[in-house]
Amino acid sequence: MKAIIIGIILAAFAVFAVLPSPGLGWWRDVLFVVKGLVPIAAVFIGVIFVMVGAANLKDTIEAKKDAEEKAE
C-alpha cells in the first residue's frame, strides 16, 4: 500500500514539475535531458541486441552440432 501511495505522489510531483504556470516549469529541461538520453539509450540497446543475437546464434550452432552427433 505504501508503494502505491509513494508512486502516486511521485507521479503527481512529476506532472506538477512540468506544468508551466502553477508548476515549476521544467518542461524544457525535461526535453533537453530526453533528447540527450535517447541516443545513448539507443546505443546501449543496440549493443544488448547484438550480444543477445550472437548468443542465440551460438546456441543454435551448438544445438545443430549436438543433433548431428546424436544422429550418427
pLDDT tens string 15-56: 999 998 888 999 999 999 999 999 999 999 999 999 999 999
Q: How many domains does the chain have?
A: 1
Sign, CA torsion 64/69/70/72? positive
Q: What is the pLDDT of residues 11-20, one digit of tens each?
A: 999 999 999 8
Nearest to 18 by CA among 3, 33, 2: 33
Q: Domain span at residue 52?
A: 2-71
pLDDT at 68: 86
